[in-house]
Structure 1
Amino acid sequence: MSFDVDLFVIGAGSGGVRAARFAAGFGARVAVAESRYLGGTCVNVGCVPKKLLVYGASYQDSLAHAADFGWQVGKSVFDWSTLIANKNTEISRLNGIYKNLLSNSGVTLHEGHARLLDANTVEINGQKISAAHILIATGGWPSVPKFPGSELAITSNDAFFLEQLPKRVLVIGGGYIAVEFASIFQGLGAETSLLYRGDLFLRGFDQSVREHVRDQLEVSGLDLQFKTDIESLAKTDDGRIKASLKDGRELIVDSVFYGTGRRPMLDNLGLENTGVRLTKQGYIAVDEHYVTAEASISAIGDVIGDDFGGEVATARLQLTPVALAEGMAVARRLFKPDEYRAVNYQLIPTAVFCLPNIGTVGISEEDAVASGHRVNIYESRFKPMKLSLSGSQERSLMKLIVDADSDVVLGCHVVGPDAGELVQGIAVAMKAGATKAIFDDTIGIHPTSAEELVTLRSVTRTVG
């Protein structure tokens, strides 16, 4: 059977664009459809603009500590509109880069909503296009639970386009998105509360990290409220929002931000016209090669889950680099099979860009023990040199989790300035199977915070 294209990609986010470009480079005829913005969540309403706002928020502390290093600065005034305008300019520049990447790769871009008519046909802007293979890479979308007044809440999609910075913000959630945005709002000068229904946020992270970040955020002035949740939201007479909590309290704020989760973006995609199956959680079910129950259709990124006993869901991380790796894997499997290799989900480093930053790779102390390891824990907390002349109470955390029998480093967790930058290099060493002895034999760079990881000599505790 003859097809119009070899591969049709639905979604021009990071994973979709990577798959399209590589497939075209392998000689395939490729088309991509995008209904919103090139670059997907990461570029437009995710990691890129978020980190720009984190940088903006970090200047509050830098300006406050400048005098300790001899700089006499005048009264500082933050202007939200300037930050947002400059952010928008940068995002537009990146959108153009993504468009050029596709064009220069020979990929045909269709701007509009694509819908599946069957296992090999897509309809977009009234045009029907047949494809030997179809890749779904439509990403995720913020979700807000339904309750009285829930329509008054904003999400990360909305926060990047607020006309002005709210004076009083209530952030709901305990995941990394909620913690990051609480830091952003607080750092930019908003009076901010973070409310989470559990005992402690960042579930799944190492317990030392969770507790350390809690303590540092409290020192920064962020109001943390655990073990409670929203009952309802309502507008007040002066246009603000009254948040009624399940413990009976009421809070009056200017904005309520929900960072409680994301759902797969599958709206009006036409999946019912195919044999594609969904998991119980509503994600597209794929095998370990990202193939759905419909052999001609694959899926990658934040839309997928595991339904065939593969390794995808057991290690799913909704991260841009993961989607990029998956997109490359699909392109190779379909059009360069001799170079195909499955994505390795072990030892994926990640960062949380709250203030201070979190960087982590490998397993937590709790997971190590639960997996049957007997581990030596090396842990250090100290004031970073950058703050040594200031009165700041901020402390950094560095932690290594080492298998007591093999000496292999199983986990590395850092909280402090530029933690993500630091952990990226550690991830390479851990991928190579580095032992604690190798860390010890590595000469540190002095004076840096990073050298702490190669000078940890005393076992804090042995567990398991």
Structure 2
Amino acid sequence: MSFDYDLFVIGGGSGGVRAARVAAQEGAHVALAEEDRYGGTCVIRGCVPKKLMVFASEYSGMVEDAASYGWQIEPGVFDWVAFKTKLHAELDRLENVYRGILKNNNVVTYDQRARLVDAHTVELADGQQFRAKHILLATGGRPVTPDLPGAELGITSNDIFQLDALPKSMLIVGGGYIACEFAGIMNGLGVETTQYYRGAQILRGFDEEARGLICEEMCQRGVDVHLGTNVLEMRKEGNGIRVKATNGTERVFDAVMFATGRKPNTDGLGLEEIGVELGRSGQVVVDDYSQTAVPSVYAVGDVTDRVNLTPVAIREGMAFVETVFKGNPTKPDHELIPTAIFTQPEFGTVGLSEEEARDQEPIEVYATSFKPMQQSFAGRSERVLMKLIVSKATRKVLGCHIVAPGAGEMIQLAGIAVKMGATKEDFDRTVAVHPTMSEEIVTMKTPVRSG
């Protein structure tokens, strides 16, 4: 049987591009199809523009604090158009980097939608068909909006980077990390920000103490958070949107953003027709080696709905190439993944929450909460949290949770220790770096509680 390509990748995001490049470097003849922009969610409408917006939003607080440090700086006005112009120029540059990576590694690219016809055939939107020995699905996910009257008046995280002007007031619906990050961003940029979340506390699934502190601090900084609250209906009113909520209130906002979940991009790809199994939310079901029910078809990244993080998609893409093109069967490792949430305050976490660990085995909890020096000197009452969850039996650190400025940077390094299986005594043996916030991670001597 003759093939046009050894590998055909559908999706030009982080996972797909990495797999295409590394397979091509191994000598495979590779093609990739992408219907939208190269770089995918992370580069074009996710982590990268989001983090740049976080940086932009933090300057308002820095300018306020500067006076406490003797600087005579007058608070200015944020110029959204100037920032947005520069932001989009940066995204264009990064997209060209991704295109360049593929071109320089002789990956053939098709800028159009692709679907599967059979186990080895890919059909492009223009009708061209290609046969490939292996097919990799890396189509990612997309935000979903709830089914309620007037929902079409709202925007999603995809649209927030395209706003012509910043609204004066905004409602953000949702309690996950995307909702909470954008609540902090908009608040920092001077938008009157309200957040509705139907659950009892934001950031479901994370450590409860950390979630509680983040919510408290968000409120202190001016985000109007309403828990146990959802939207019933929305309708246009003048230039605004009238929102009727489950808590009995009706308010008009200039803009409403839904951050109420994401869905794998599997519609219209012809997957079920050829025998690829899909899960309840439309995700591609794969085995430990990212292989689908059709042996020639594999899937990586958010479309599999395993751990929806960019570095994980890249790892899965690398493991796929090891397995299929290097004859070295490799399972992507989904254990003890450190992650950061760029809320304000920032949250870094690795391993088990206190609640998960307590359900698993007897534990000790070491925690400290304090006012960081820089903000305290400026007269702010913000608090940070450092927390270790330790196994009583093995003394291993099962979880590390940090709520503090720069928590993302700290958790990357703490993550190495936790992944290596460090014990509480290993942490204790490490000399503190003073004066820093992170030194508290190695100076906590007595547990605050056991469970």
Instruction: Answer whether TM exceeds 0.5 for this pair.
Output: yes
2:392 corresponds in structure 1 to 404
In 1: Cα distance, 2:371 partner to 2:162 partner: 36
1:32 corresponds in structure 2 to 32
Q: Which of 344, 356, 359 lines up with 2:345 in the alignment?
A: 356
For the 8 Å contact 1:279–1:285, the answer to whether it is kept is: yes
Q: Which of 428, 444, 451 lines up with 2:416 in the alignment?
A: 428
2:167 corresponds in structure 1 to 166
- Partner amino acid for 1:106? N
In 1: Cα distance, 2:386 partner to 2:235 partner: 43
1:90 corresponds in structure 2 to 90
2:324 corresponds in structure 1 to 334
2:224 corresponds in structure 1 to 223
Q: Secondary structure at the match of 1:413?
A: strand
1:206 corresponds in structure 2 to 207
In 1: Cα distance, 2:447 partner to 2:224 partner: 34
Q: Secondary structure at the match of 1:285?
A: coil
Q: Secondary structure at the match of 1:326?
A: helix
Superposition map of 1:231-270 within 5 A: 231-236=232-237, 238-270=238-270
Deviation at 1:52, TM superposition (A): 0.4
1:415 corresponds in structure 2 to 403
Superposition map of 1:98-137 within 5 A: 98-124=98-124, 125-137=126-138
1:14 corresponds in structure 2 to 14
- Partner amino acid for 1:161? Q
In 1: Cα distance, 2:182 partner to 2:376 partner: 27
- Partner amino acid for 2:407? A
In 1: Cα distance, 2:21 partner to 2:113 partner: 20
2:63 corresponds in structure 1 to 63
Q: Secondary structure at the match of 2:33?
A: strand
In 2: Cα distance, 1:8 partner to 1:175 partner: 34
1:190 corresponds in structure 2 to 191
In 2: Cα distance, 1:75 partner to 1:138 partner: 43
In the TM superposition, structure 1's runs of 4+ consecutive aligned residues that sit over 3 Å from their partners are: none
Deviation at 1:292, TM superposition (A): 0.8
Aligned length: 450
For the 8 Å contact 2:63–2:75, the answer to whether it is kept is: no
Q: Secondary structure at the match of 2:377?
A: coil
For the 8 Å contact 2:150–2:233, the answer to whether it is kept is: yes
**TM-score of the superposition, structure 2-length normalised?**
0.98
Deviation at 1:75, TM superposition (A): 3.4
In 2: Cα distance, 1:433 partner to 1:337 partner: 30
For the 8 Å contact 2:367–2:448, the answer to whether it is kept is: yes
For the 8 Å contact 2:289–2:330, the answer to whether it is kept is: no
1:42 aligns with 2:45: no
In 2: Cα distance, 1:52 partner to 1:75 partner: 20
**TM-score of the superposition, structure 1-length normalised?**
0.96
Identity %: 48
In 1: Cα distance, 2:432 partner to 2:4 partner: 57
Deviation at 1:267, TM superposition (A): 2.8
Deviation at 1:393, TM superposition (A): 1.3
In 2: Cα distance, 1:231 partner to 1:178 partner: 18
For the 8 Å contact 2:320–2:330, the answer to whether it is kept is: no
1:325 aligns with 2:326: no
Structure 2: which 5+ runs fail to align? none
In 1: Cα distance, 2:396 partner to 2:439 partner: 19
- Partner amino acid for 1:153? G
In 1: Cα distance, 2:349 partner to 2:275 partner: 39
Deviation at 1:273, TM superposition (A): 3.7
For the 8 Å contact 2:357–2:363, the answer to whether it is kept is: yes
Could you say what the CA RMSD is over the residues aligned between the two structures, in angstroms?
A: 1.0
For the 8 Å contact 1:193–1:222, the answer to whether it is kept is: yes
Superposition map of 1:375-386 within 5 A: 375-386=363-374
- Partner amino acid for 1:212? L
In 1: Cα distance, 2:314 partner to 2:224 partner: 36
- Partner amino acid for 2:351? G
Q: Secondary structure at the match of 1:337?
A: coil
- Partner amino acid for 1:253? F
Deviation at 1:272, TM superposition (A): 4.0
For the 8 Å contact 1:119–1:273, the answer to whether it is kept is: no
Deviation at 1:378, TM superposition (A): 0.6
Deviation at 1:173, TM superposition (A): 0.4
Q: Secondary structure at the match of 2:439?
A: helix
- Partner amino acid for 1:325? R
1:304 corresponds in structure 2 to 304
Q: Secondary structure at the match of 1:410?
A: strand
